[in-house]
Structure 1
């Protein structure tokens, strides 16, 4: 657990409310601000990349003039789309219907990002350190924001269901981007229905898709968020021979469990960045193929 202490400290610092928001009684932290800028920047980078690809292939045919309302709608759909899908089934009001602070906050951040004359394209040296931050920000969503929607639900059936917890994590974390891609919000053309990447061939292999229930499940397992996870933790401890006879398995404290999940996601997202922006994982295969091509074929009698 000593190895996780720095991560716990980073979270404690990043989640402290900061000025000038505290002047107005708003509990907006450094993590909230950086995560909002990161998301709005990524959305603009994706939009501009799709625009360049469209113009390169089709010219300016069907290109629609970009509006701030569409950009703001995009970021709000990404942030709250998954919540809008799950909350009706959990019988709780979505957060954006209870308070307008976060929607207005993201709208302002998107306006700031859109006023910047230009933003750089995605490249490896920039994305690698940001992947570590993405791991931390996604962990906060999967460990602090989503589980209480289920574990603190008024319905005892919902609050005790591990399946509900995992499905809620999957849909809430990915539903926003799913709706955005479905409605082609980020394309330079008018809005139209299209097949989201998640439903295309091998779309299920996307790390963002399956890491949500995985990380939430690990966090629930370590913290005993529900009776099922407490029993599973005890069973796993017994199977690997780490249990002390006659002593129940104690849950890991929430901050340590969150730190472990953050390290896991940071490594996962960093590996994804290396895979997407370099040919590191392809080198062994290419080297073998090149070697086979260079070797002369043996003559057979």
Structure 2
């Protein structure tokens, strides 16, 4: 699927100019104090294509807390390590509940609905903690390799803020432990999870690091196999149905791309056989998705005809 990227720079600049002031419709995440202090008027967009080009506009090279976008990297690592047995411990269905729902987890006996709600991501964090002697270093190393950048770091202020205010995630982890679906010690699982969420990356770095999902599991820049084509398909399917929290159906309806958002204001969208779009704007709507980011992704997908359902 070859897409015309002539004057992509101009399109990104125009879209950013059109939408960046829409941030007044949203609010910066405040339940993690370190995120509440981020200036609301940042906005950036980057598009990385599988032929090696990256184009960006606005604050696309400014690092921000990737938060739930980190769930993609963790899921790929866990799939590579456990294979199909992972799906006995976490399902692949949309949740239809808030991303941090305790009630659903209780109903379903400690088996999370999917790996991109918080309970599922904590289960994945347990897999990594249990199967790597230094899971946090392994995770950071994996991200650095994909982004081809050794300078990517964990924001320790965000990490401390997450750990101090992470009681609901602790409750989810202990509930799964009570059902026998968490193997490691809970403080170790939480420490891993908060570490991965606190990694700081730019739109440019995120877009480039996820190109393998647009290229059947192969990093198009290094030619390394990151995951199997089947697992790339599975990750994209989960992102299509569940990656945008309770707005996933609406996003599929209006945009039609596998996507994942984070409460740091980041949003990535995978365009199979083409590339990755990444946006960042901190103010969120009531679903926890970036107001400006959603408009930017929808705008560029519409302009270039990128929906997977075309």
Structure number with the bigger relative contact order (C-alpha 8 A, sep ≥ 6) is 2
> Which is strand-richer, 1 or 2?
2
Rg (Cα) greater in structure: 1
Greater per-residue helix proportion: 1
Same fold (TM over 0.5): no
TM-score, structure 1 as length reference:
0.29
